[in-house]
Structure 1
C-alpha cells in the first residue's frame, strides 16, 4: 500500500508540473505562427514570369517578331513605350558619367569613368530593357507559392509600407515605427503597414504586435532556399517586396534605420507619391562605385563586364518607393527577385569576406559585395544610364539613422504587462484547480496521507509558479 501511495504522489507531481510546463510553453509559442508545409510533389513544378500573373500558364519566353525576325518578349512594345516616355519627359535629369576619369581619382572605391573599358551598353533603351528581361528565371513553384501565401490575408490598399525586424535591430526598428506614426500615417488613409519577423524573440514580437499598428508576418525561411537564412545576404528583401507587389498601387520599403522627417505634411506626401507615379521609383542616391562594390558573378548574371558600372554610384536599398505599374513589376522587380533566388547573383558563395570594403588602394573591381543593393543598382543603371537622377529621392523626406535606438514601445507596455500577468495568473489558477481536483478524488483516504502531501506539494508548486511569473515580468518590463 505504501508503494502504491508513493506512486500516486509521484504521478501527482508529474501532472501538476506537466500542466504548468504546458501552459508556459503555450504562452511562449502563442506568438509564433506555424510554417505552412508543402509536399514533395511540388518540388518539380515551375512558375514562369510574369510573377504578378502567378497562376497564368502563359510563357514569358521571347518569340520571333513576324516583321523583323528578332526575339520579342510579351508586352515588350508597351514596356518600351513607358520607358521611352519617362526618358523623354525627364530628359534634363541627367548626370555626366565621364566627368571623373579614374586616373584622376584618388579614392579607390569612388565612382569614375574607366577609359580602359572596351565594353559598351546598348545604345537603344529598348535593347537594354530586353537584356534585363532576359535575366528573369523560372522559379520553382513551391518557392513562389511560399512568397504569396504569407500575404494572402493582406487586403489591397493604395499604399503599402513594408519593413522587417530582428532582435539585433529591435530598438532601431522602433524609431522607424515611431516616425511613421508621428509624421506619415496621420496624413494618409487607405494604407497598410506590414512587418516581416526575421528573428524577434517571442516577447519582442508580442510587444511589437501590440504597439506597431502593423501586421506582423513570419518570413517563410523554411520554404525558401537555405542560403536565404543568412540575413546579411539580404536575398530575403526582394522576396518580401515581391510578396506584396499586387497588394498596393504604391509600395514603400524601409529598413529599420529610416526616419521620416518632421517636416512631412499631407501636401509633401502627395507631391512625393505623384513624383513616384511619374518616374516609377524613388530611392536614395549614394557614392561608391557599383563596379568596386559588386562581385563579378553578379555582373556576369546580367551579361555585362564590371567596368561598365564604374561610373555609377551606389543606390541605397534602405528606402525604395515603387509605383506598381507593369514596367516596375516586370522590368525591375521580377529580375531583382530572380537574382535573389540565384546563388550566382545575390547571395554568392563565401559572401562573408565580401561584406566590408576596406577602401585601401589599389582600385579593384569586386572588392566587396552589396547584395540586393548591387542588383537593383545594376538594373536601374543599365536601363537609365545618365538619366538615373530621374529616380533620386529629394533629401527633404527621410534620413538614414543607423544604430539609432529608440524605446518607443516602453510607454505602451502597460497593456502588455496586464495581458502577460493575466496569462501567468491563469496558469497558477489552473494548477490550483488540478490540485483541488486531485484532493477531492482522494477524499476519505486515511491510509497514506496523500491529501496532506498533495496539498503541501501543490502550495509549493503555486508559490514557485508565482515566483517564476514575477521573475518573468521583471525581466521584460
Structure 2
C-alpha cells in the first residue's frame, strides 16, 4: 500500500476537528435556545396573566361521545398551552382598526385597561333583554334578589336594552333596581342588529370590561342557588368560569366557522361551553386571548354570523359534524378548547353546581 500523503492526513484531521467543534457549538446553541425559549414562555405566561390552575379541577377533560365521521381522525392539540395560544394569536380577521380601538382591544387599549387599579371582590352582574324574553327575565331578577343581592346588597346589576318596547322598558326600570342601558347598535356593523346572530353579546362583554374588572354575564334563563358565592370565589381566583353544555362543539358549529379560523372540526369533539353564564376577570390574557378574537369574529360578518345562518340553529342530526351552529357559543368553545383542551374542566362548571337554566 502506498503511503498516504501527509497533506491529506492533515486536511482530514482539520475536517474532523472542525466538525467536532461545530457539533459541540450546535449543542451549546440548542441548549441556550431551549433555555431562552423556556424563559420567553415563562415571561409571556407571567406577562399575559395566564390563569393558574393550581388547586382547581385539572382532571382530563372528557370529549363528547365519539362521532363516526371523526373515527379515523387522530390529530391532537399540542400539550403546551403556549403553543395553543399562538394558534389563537394567528387567527386572521379584517376588522377596522377604529372599531378595535374604540373597544380598547388594540394593544394600546389593552395596556390601558390592565393598568387600571381595580381589584373587585364581587362581579358586576350584566344581562341583555329583548321583548321576547321579558317574561323569562322576571325569574332571573327574583333569583338575583334572593341570592346575590341578599348577601351583597351593594352588587351592581347592568341590563342592556336590546330593543324593548317603551312599556317594557318602563316596567323594567320600575322593578329591576338596575342600570338599564340602550345597546348602541348604530356604532357597529349592520349585522350586529340581528339579535339571533348573538354578535352583540361579546361586544357587550367587552364594553363592560372597559368599565369594570370583574363581570358576570347571565342570560334571562339563569337561576342561582345558595352556592353561588363559591362560583364567585373560583372566578376571582382563576379568572374565567363558564357554564359547560352537553352538545359537541364539532356538531354544533358550522363548518364555515372552522374554515374561517383554519381549525379542524374533529379536534373539537368536546362538550360545548355556554357563555349565557360567564364570569371573567379583566386580565391581559382574557382581553388578548379571548375577548379580542371573539369580538373580532363578532364584528366580521362571515365569521360568527353569516348569510342564512338561521337555517342552522336547530340540530337535526346530533351525530353529524356541523349539523347546526351556536354563534358566540361556538366561537368561545373553539378558543377555550384550543387553549385549555385537556384541562378545560378548570375553567368550566356544570349546571346544578351553582344554579340552573330555566327557559320557562
**Is 1:366 equivalent to 2:322 in the alignment?**
yes
- Describe how 1:291-330 pairs up with structure 2 within 5 A: 291-310=250-269, 312-330=270-288
Question: Could you say what the CA RMSD is over the residues aligned between the two structures, in angstroms?
Answer: 3.0
The higher-RCO structure (CA 8 Å, 6+ apart) is 2
Match of 1:359, SS state, is coil
Match of 1:373, SS state, is helix
Unaligned runs of 5+ in 2: 1-31, 105-117
**Is 1:355 equivalent to 2:306 in the alignment?**
no
Question: Is this contact kept in 2: 1:176–1:256, CA < 8 A?
Answer: yes
**Which of 317, 330, 353 is the matching residue for 1:396?**
353
Match of 2:208, SS state, is coil
Deviations 1:348-404 (A, max 9, x none): 2210111111136xx4221110000011011111111111111222533221011x2
Unaligned runs of 5+ in 1: 1-65, 109-113, 149-155, 405-477
Match of 2:332, SS state, is helix
**Which of 280, 286, 297 is the matching residue for 1:339?**
297
C-alpha distance in structure 1 between counterparts of 2:231 and 2:172, whole Å: 28
Distance change >3 Å, CA 242–CA 136, structure 1 → 2: farther
The equivalent of 2:160 in structure 1 is 196
Question: Is this contact kept in 1: 2:280–2:286, CA < 8 A?
Answer: yes
Post-superposition offset of 1:145: 6.7
Question: Is this contact kept in 1: 2:246–2:272, CA < 8 A?
Answer: yes
Question: Is this contact kept in 2: 1:157–1:191, CA < 8 A?
Answer: no
**Is 1:162 equivalent to 2:119 in the alignment?**
no
Question: Is this contact kept in 2: 1:157–1:192, CA < 8 A?
Answer: no
C-alpha distance in structure 2 between counterparts of 1:274 and 1:75, whole Å: 26
Post-superposition offset of 1:345: 1.6
TM-score, normalised by the number of residues in structure 2: 0.77
Post-superposition offset of 1:218: 1.1
- Describe how 1:13-92 pairs up with structure 2 within 5 A: 77-78=44-45, 82-83=49-50, 86-87=52-53, 89-90=55-56, 92=58
Post-superposition offset of 1:182: 2.1
Aligned length: 311
Distance change >3 Å, CA 215–CA 145, structure 1 → 2: farther
The equivalent of 1:272 in structure 2 is 231
TM-score, normalised by the number of residues in structure 1: 0.59
C-alpha distance in structure 2 between counterparts of 1:345 and 1:116, whole Å: 28
